[in-house]
Amino acid sequence: MPDSSETDVNIPGITRLPVQKMADDALWQTNDPVAIEEPLEIRIQYGTKPPRQEQSLSVTMRTPGNDEELALGWLFTEGILPVTGALPKNYHILPTSTNTENTITLILPDGLTPDLTRSQRHSYTTSSCGVCGKTSLESLHTPLPRQSTGNLSIPATLLYTLPLLLRKEQNIFDATGGLHAAGLFTPTGDLLALREDIGRHNALDKLIGHALKQNLQTENTILLLSGRACFELIQKAAMAGIRIIAAVGPPSSLAVQHAEDNDITLVGFLRQQRFNIYSGAHRIRI
């Protein structure tokens, strides 16, 4: 019984590949939607006088789409862009006619010097790991901006509603079953933005890059992760000033420690009308 629906081919980040399916002792061949995984090289140009300096900083495996947001989010959460909480003015991206298909170059304004000491990775980063290319233990801990904790708090029952809202908007996951998602919600449970990617850290970088471009005040938002909460995701969220993080899956021990160190509320196993609070319980009203 082949699936004749191919509406998903119009969704960016999806391709269709031939596959043989086996069910009920029957075998047939059809085309199935598969999430695209391709490399993206992130480059940066900077300097005050020509010739400006250009440097390749990272190659990451990602699902194509929202590449500018991915580059901006990655540069910000790595601490390479100045930690001001706002996007540098007058930056621009090289036109696609100049870039290759899987290369993106961010050109910084004159006089804005990136902190390239924080880009010490190997030249290749897999889609499943954002910190496994780090060349030193010290470089794992990106310096965080000083954040005001504020008075943000939410009712516990609000958290129950978020996974379903996120799931309804995961178009690529619906078609392929193979992508991670990160979503930003208001304190009243409205979805502000969602990004998907084959790499969980890429999905969050895209989301933070979007927030930077739109000048969203992330300090008063809730971040929901479709999978587990690892150290790097907490680090990236902390860089963006996010105070409440919820994950459908479990956290790691280092993620819990990092959340505690940065006064972040961390919720895990958010599913089926239940969850665990690992840190920052004062922001959850029972």
- DSSP, collapsed to helix, strand or coil, labels residue 23 as strand
pLDDT computed for residue 280 by the predictor: 96
Residue 181: strand pairing partners: 196
Whether 88 contacts 110, CB under 8 Å: no
Radius of gyration of the chain (CA): 20
Question: pLDDT 10s per residue in the chain (286 long)?
Answer: 444 455 555 677 888 889 999 988 899 899 888 888 999 999 998 887 777 888 999 999 999 989 999 999 999 998 888 655 556 666 777 655 556 678 999 888 877 788 888 776 544 555 555 555 454 445 555 555 545 556 899 999 999 999 999 998 887 777 777 789 999 999 999 999 999 999 999 999 999 999 998 988 899 999 999 999 999 999 999 999 999 999 999 999 999 999 999 999 999 999 999 999 999 999 999 8
Side chain identity, residue 182: A
Q: Name which of 94, 89, 95 is nearest 109 in CA terms.
A: 89
Residue 31: strand pairing partners: 18
DSSP calls for 39-77: EEEEEEEE-SSSSPEEEEEEEEEE-SS-HHHHHHHHHHH
Other beta carbons within 10 Å of 238: 22
Which listed residue (87, 94, 107, 129) is catalytic? Answer: 129
Whether 245 contacts 223, CB under 8 Å: yes
Q: Which residues contact 100 (CB under 8 A, 6 or more apart)?
A: none
Sheet holding 191-197, edge to edge: 191-197, 180-185, 222-225, 244-247, 265-271, 274-279
Helix axes 67-77, 231-239, angle to 10 degrees: 90
How far is it, in rounded angstroms, from Cα 148 to Cα 125?
33
Tell me if the bond preceding 12 is cis, omega within 30° of 0: no
85-95 in b/e form (b: 16+ CB < 10 A) is beebeebeeee
129 a catalytic residue: yes
pLDDT computed for residue 33 by the predictor: 87
